[in-house]
Structure 1
């Protein structure tokens, strides 16, 4: 009989991407969003490299992208500034943020894992996949 490892919790994460020209399917990884149901943990780390984004788009579009990423963060945090979606529970917000869409800000497919510290795992994934 298999036993669970002490302190390990199932988590899900997705990479947050900027897709400046959706029809070209080119993207830049800009963040990671991680959800752990058991610990009621939902957090994202977004890092915008404006120079990279401006290689694909103009300055005005880059500002719009930054605003969209800020809205993503506000929804993830459950902030009142994030609107009605931000008022949903963690699971619903995570599912909404990672839903498949054809927009400039997208999430990768959702990936599972085990962690005893979701915050440290989020930082590690951000470093590996974004920085």
Structure 2
């Protein structure tokens, strides 16, 4: 039983780390988008948004802003499906391991769910990184024009 608890805790911490990386990636994407927008419109209208405006945003707010700045509908759908899972991981996942008598049924069920969540998070992180790469290419082209 202790081994299953430790495995579950380790997986939960790994998922928390992955969600933190996803949040960081979204913040970088948003901040860079704001920089490019400012570069393009700064002479015409006042635009004073920057990465510092979103640095303390939780995933939900980051996804809302990202959704306004990115047109990849499939990615946005996938990211939005992660909201509930992120909230569970961040606020409830470790509670089932507290005490000497953990809910083993929940541990086993969630351990299976976490397996698929890890894959989806990893894939979404790769896709956000790819969108960020595309954004940077577009931004560099805009600077040249």
- How high is the TM-score relative to the length of structure 2? 0.28
Structure showing greater Rg: 2
**Higher strand fraction: Structure 1 or Structure 2?**
1
